[in-house]
Amino acid sequence: MTPRKIIIDTDPGQDDAVAILLALASPEEIEVLGITCVAGNVPLELTARNARIVCELAGRSDMPVFAGCDRPLGRALVTAEHVHGKTGLDGPSLPEPTMALAEGHAVDFIIATLRQHPPGSVTLCPLGPLTNIATALQRAPDIAERIAEIVLMGGGYFEGGNITPAAEFNIYVDPQAADAVFRCGAPLVVMPLDVTHKALVTKPRNDAFRALDTPVGLAVAQMTDFFERFDKEKYGSEGAPLHDPCVTAYLISPDLFSGRHINVEIETTSELTMGMTVADWWRVTDRAPNATFVGDIDADGFFDLLTRRLARL
C-alpha cells in the first residue's frame, strides 16, 4: 500500500500534537510532506513553536514546519488559552525546539506542493482554523482540482458548538475561510464535534498512554491530564475529547468512522450563529452534497490504534 501524501495544517494545541504524533508513527499509511502552522488555539508564534516541539519529540527534526497566517481573513483572532494553557501545549515539560522553521510562508508551500505533485495525490489535513487553506485557494484557484481530499476537524451539528452555542472553534475563528474551503469543490471529509465528542480520553485510556513508559507516552498522558480539565468541568464528561487525532486515524483506518455525504454550508452573516456548520443531515434541502460529515466512531478501536502507534515512537 502506497502511503498517502499529506500536509498537516495545524494550531497545536494538545490534540493537534497527538494527531501529528499519530501521523508520524504511521509511515505505512501516511507520508507527511510538511506541517503548516496557523494562528488558532494560541498565536502563530506559539503554534509554530509547538509544532516543532512535537516533531522533535517524535524524533523528526527533519520535518519541514512552516509558519502561515497569523490572523483570520476578516475577523480578529480568537484564541483558546483557557483550554490549552498559555503556551498552547501545557501539561508536559518539553524542551524548546532546536529545529528552525522552514524558509517561506506556509501558504506558498501548500500551493507549490499541490502544483509539484500529480493532481489527486496530495491530501490536506487541517486541524485548526482554515485561514492558510483558504488563502492558498484565493491566491491559486487552480489548486482546488489538484487536491486529493481535505480531511479536517471542525464544525458540529447534533453537538452544537463549543466556543458559541452554534459554532465549533476552528470554524468560528475564521468563518470566511471555512466558507471558501467548503465551497472549493475538493472532496471534503469533516470530523465535527458529533464524532470527536465520542473519542473521550477516559482514565483507563490515558493510563494506557502512560503505561507505554516512553517519553511520547508520558507526554501524551500529561497533555491529556491538562487538556481534559476544561472539558470534564464543562460537559461533565469522563475525559477530554481527542478532536484532531480523528483526522489522522481516519487516514489509517477509515472503517473506524461512519457518516453521511451531505450538504454543509457555513454561517458568515449572523453574529448569533457565526461559524455554524449548517449540515443538511436529514437532506431536507436540494443543496448539493459537498462533504462527508462524520457522526460515529468505534472509540475502542480508535484508542487501540492510537496507543499501538504511539508505542512505536
> Which positions are catalytic?
243
Site for ligand RIB (CB under 6 A): which residue of 40, 64, 175, 275? 40
Q: Please report, for residues 21, 73, 212, 287, the alpha-carbon distance to residue 248 in angstroms, rounded to integers and kept in the order given.
A: 9, 26, 20, 29
**Nearest CA among 57, 90, 62 for reference residue 313:** 57
Q: Which DSSP string corresponds to 261-311?
A: EE-EEE--S-SSSTT-EEE-TT--S-PPP-EEEEEEE-HHHHHHHHHHHHT
Distance in angstroms (rounded) separating the CA atoms of residues 39 and 46: 8
Interface positions, 243-272, toward ligand RIB (CB under 6 A): 243-244
Is position 231 an interface residue for ligand RIB (rule: CB under 6 A)?
A: no
Q: Which stretch binds ligand RIB (CB under 6 A): 115-123, 162-170, 203-211, 258-266?
A: 162-170
Site for Ca ion (CB under 5 A): which residue of 6, 54, 127, 310? 127
Distance in angstroms (rounded) separating the CA atoms of residues 91 and 86: 11
Q: Which stretch binds Ca ion (CB under 5 A): 174-182, 200-208, 209-217, 239-247?
A: 239-247
Site for Ca ion (CB under 5 A): which residue of 4, 7, 9, 16? 16
- Of residues 126 and 239, the one with the C-beta less far from Ca ion: 126
Name residue 292's beta-bridge partners.
189, 261
Site for Ca ion (CB under 5 A): which residue of 64, 68, 126, 128? 128
For 260, list phi and psi in degrees, rounded to 5: -130, 145
Among Ca ion, ligand RIB, none, residue 169 binds (CB under 5-8 Å by kind): ligand RIB
Q: Which three cell numbers stand for residue 288?
A: 448539493
Among Ca ion, ligand RIB, none, residue 162 binds (CB under 5-8 Å by kind): ligand RIB
Is position 133 an interface residue for ligand RIB (rule: CB under 6 A)?
A: no
CB 11 within 8 A of CB 42: yes
Output the CA torsion 108→113→118→120 (10° steps).
-80
Among ligand RIB, Ca ion, none, residue 265 binds (CB under 5-8 Å by kind): none
Helix (H) or strand (E) holding 20: helix 14-24
Q: Which stretch binds ligand RIB (CB under 6 A): 13-21, 43-51, 105-113, 262-270?
A: 13-21
First to last CA, the chain: 21
Site for ligand RIB (CB under 6 A): which residue of 9, 11, 90, 225? 11
- Of residues 80 and 111, the one with the C-beta less far from ligand RIB: 80
Cβ 15 to Ca ion shortest distance, Å: 6
Is position 13 an interface residue for Ca ion (rule: CB under 5 A)?
A: yes
Is position 127 an interface residue for ligand RIB (rule: CB under 6 A)?
A: yes
* Contacts with ligand RIB, residue ranges (CB under 6 A): 11, 13, 15-16, 40-41, 127-128, 153, 162, 168-170, 243-244
